Chain A
Amino acid sequence: DAKTTQPNSMESNEEEPVHLPCNHSTISGTDYIHWYRQLPSQGPEYVIHGLTSNVNNRMASLAIAEDRKSSTLILHRATLRDAAVYYCILRGYNNYGQNFVFGPGTRLSVLP
């Protein structure tokens, strides 16, 4: 199965941008890169996803490397509410049987 590697934890100051990295060197051509986050005591929440091009939505931006072996989730202005565990997941037909598997993720702390 295609796997992702993320730092265990990161810290950011409130109102500053945050760049959360994800490595996925074994990604296949049809794998989509998804990001979810889980706030304390809540179910996971969709953040963004993409295939090849960079993506923007109201929550975040996703920058995908040209070779697609890594990606970065960008929170433009971190707020205290953004403190959560962020998961980078590959979803594709190659690993269809296990295509929504969460790793340990990155725990983001936001300092006031």
Chain B
Amino acid sequence: DSGVTQTPKHLITATGQRVTLRCSPRSGDLSVYWYQQSLDQGLQFLIHYYNGEERAKGNILERFSAQQFPDLHSELNLSSLELGDSALYFCASSERDGMNTEAFFGQGTRLTVV
């Protein structure tokens, strides 16, 4: 158990819908990272938050948004869903900005868009 909790574990929804994925980092961890893993794409970095502030953006679509709340949990919002958004979504947390620390990953949310 990494200490990072992602909910829900599985989500099935229809095209055009909007979903919210939640990540609770390890206690005290200030950094949260989000990743998308499709079968043919590997792990794609989406976004990084540190202590409530956005620090870096990767290949995140405009239909996707994220935020980190004062209690440090984070949510990834996916809207106008398309079939291609079906993937595993992982979040990771680390206690600082992560250069000299390890990061801990959750077990992921499997999103299926039908």
Q: Which residues of A contact B (CB under 8 A)?
A: 30, 32, 34, 36, 38, 42-46, 49, 51, 87, 91-93, 96-105
Could you tell me which residues of chain B, from 84 to 103, have a CB within 8 Å of some CB in chain A? 90, 92, 97-100, 102-103
Interface residues on B, range: 20 to 34
From the candidates B43, B57, B99, name the one contacting A44 in the complex (CB within 8 A): B43
Q: Known: A46-B104, A91-B99. Contact between A99 and B90, CB under 8 A?
A: no
* 10 tightest Cβ-Cβ pairs between the two chains A and B: A43-B105, A46-B102, A102-B43, A97-B56, A44-B105, A101-B45, A91-B99, A43-B90, A32-B99, A43-B108
Is B92 in contact with A49, judged by CB distance below 8 angstroms? no
Mask, B55-98, CB within 8 Å of A = 1, is: 11110000000000000000000000000000000101000011
